[in-house]
Amino acid sequence: MPLEVFQAPATLREQLIEFQSRQQCYPFTELDQLKEELAGYVGIYLLYYRGQLPLYSSIRTANQHSCCMPIYIGKAENPGKRTGKGSVAGGLIGRLREHRSSIRQVNNLDIADFDFTVVAMAVDLVAWGEAVLIRHFQPVWCSIISGFGIHAPGKGRGAQMRSMWDEIHPGRSFAVQLPANPVTIESLQPQVAQHCQNLAVRLGCPMEER
């Protein structure tokens, strides 16, 4: 007999998406000024790109007036906590600082071209909330170009191939010594462009002229 599966009510997913849409969008360059506001919270964060890299031209267009199409969604959680606020080590501010460091290390991205929003949540909801928002927004760095959120490979894994993200955004210190990944910006361009065009239609973002 098949097991009965508990599903979160669709209205709860819709409430999360609507709640996220009401959160303020901040320039990534202002992260340090916001550390007091973000300290102690866990939750989800969304990164938005507005730069000139041709691979992401559709994302730049989508975000020209507002934070509409995230390029990445991640989570910051602390299993020891039961509420959104408290004495959390790292949390949202810690994870965002890690990502800021990654972007600063590469040679074809600029932190000044990024914005972010956060969704502070009770820790029990964070993993669920991240999954809901990733399914809804299907960000390129979560669905097509993987590897942005990884850390340096552990002992014995130093011969693994560079992630797709590190291959097209070279510069992170731990990835430089890894074997090359055969992926290229040129090979990714059609897939990324079509993916973003479809997303722009569904999300109601500004679109590039084709």
pLDDT band with cut points at 50, 70 and 90 for residue 40? confident
Q: State pTM to two decimals.
A: 0.92
- Residue written as token pair 């202002």: 30
Flag whether pLDDT at 84 surpasses 60.
no
Taking the CA atoms of residue 202, residue 192, residue 179 and residue 173 in that order, the dihedral angle to the nearest 10 degrees is -70
User: Which region holds residue 86: left if phi is over 0, alpha if psi is between -120 and 50, else beta?
Assistant: left
Flag whether pLDDT at 108 surpasses 60.
yes
- The stretch 165-180 carries a mean pLDDT of 94
pLDDT value of residue 156: 54
For residue 37, report the phi and psi dihedrals to the nearest 5 degrees: -70, -35
Counting runs of H as helices and runs of E as strands, what totals does the chain give?
A: 9, 4
pLDDT value of residue 83: 47
More confidently predicted of 67 and 91: 67
pLDDT value of residue 152: 72
Instruction: Identify each DSSP E strand in 9-148 by its residue range.
Output: 26-27, 43-49, 72-76, 114-120
pLDDT value of residue 89: 54
For residue 164, report the phi and psi dihedrals to the nearest 5 degrees: -60, -40
Flag whether pLDDT at 82 surpasses 50.
no
